[in-house]
Amino acid sequence: MSDYLFYIFAALTVICGALVIINKNPINSAMFLVLSIASMAGLFVLLHAFFLAAVQVLVYAGAVMVLFLFVIMLLDLKEEQRRKINTFGAVTGVASVAAIGYVFYQSIRNTPLPNAVAHSEGDTVVLGKLLFTDYVLPFEILSILLLVAMVGVILLSKKDLK
């Protein structure tokens, strides 16, 4: 059963991801990103990372994507005009992406990987405890990072009065 779910969610994520980058209308792109991220949360559930699945939906699909949509609407972005394809960029881009994909495919196929499936669940209580013990330093650095982001965003998006 969970095998089929994997295929379904994986297909949904990639198809929506592809639609994100093909779509001309920025709003549609953003909506497909929401779908892609939500089906990714499904994959997290299959991997028994329940807390992270919830975070993924709340933070990504919720907060971050609302921010994206808000900015897209604020700037009132229209559909991109018929794109003049930058041939050089497109060719090198597609070539490098294909090369990267191929390298990954080959190397993942050829590398012996661990296959023991854990019986541990990502327990929220344990995560919380870890966050304030083993990971307290990164946690504090992250709080500084959020402060920086906050100061920066206010500063950059505010209109100067004079």
Partner 1 sequence: MVPLYYYLIFSALLFSVGLAGALTRRNAILVLIGIELMLNAANLNFIAFWRYSPDPEALTGMMFVIFSIAVAAAEAAVGLALIIAIYRHYRTVDLTKVDSLKG
Partner 2 sequence: MSGISYSEILKLVAPEMLVSLAALAVLAIDLLVMREAPQRYRFWTGAAFAGLGCGLAIAWLLAMNPPPHSMSAGLSLLQGTYADDVLVRLVKVALLVMTLFTLAISMESNFTDHIGEYLALILLATVGMMFLVSSENLLMVFISLELTSLSLYILTAFNKRNVESAEAALKYFLFGGMSAAFTLFGLSLVYGLAGSIQFSEIYSKLHAAKIDTLLLAAIVMTVIGFGFKIAAVPFHLWAPDAYQGAPTPSAAFIASGSKVASFFIFAKLMMQAFAGAEGNGAWRHFTPGWLPVVATVAACSMLLGNLAAIVQGNVKRLLAYSAIAHAGYALLGLLSNSQQGMSSLIYYIVTYGLTVLGAFGVVAIVEERTGDASISSFAGLGRRQPLLGLCMMVFMLSLAGIPPLAGFFGKFYLFTAAIGAGKDMGMLWLVIFAIAMSAVSLYYYLQVLKQIYVVPAVEDSRPIVVPVSSRIILSLLALVVVVLGCAPELLLGRLITAIKLASHQ
Residues 27-46 that bind partner 2 (CB under 8 A): none
Amino acid at 137: L
Angle at CA 123, nearest 5°, toward 121 and 128?
150
Query: By CB under 8 A, what part of segment 116-155 binds partner 1?
Result: 116-120, 122, 126-127, 130-131, 135, 138, 142, 145-146, 148-149, 152-153
Instruction: Give the residue from 35, 41, 29 showing the smallest Cα distance to 12.
Output: 35
Q: Which partner, partner 2, partner 1, none, binds residue 144 by CB below 5 to 8 Å per kind?
A: partner 2
Binding residues among 29-68 for partner 1 as defined by CB under 8 A: 29-30, 33, 36-37, 40, 43-44, 46-49, 51-52, 55-56, 59-60, 63-64, 67-68
Q: Which of 1, 108, 116, 118 binds partner 2 (CB under 8 A)?
A: 108
Using an 8 Å Cβ cutoff, are 52 and 46 in contact?
A: no
13: left (phi over 0), alpha (psi -120 to 50) or beta: alpha
Sole binder of partner 1 in the list 90, 125, 140, 161 (CB under 8 A): 90
Check binding of 91 to partner 1 (CB under 8 A): no
Contact 5, 46 (CB under 8 A): yes
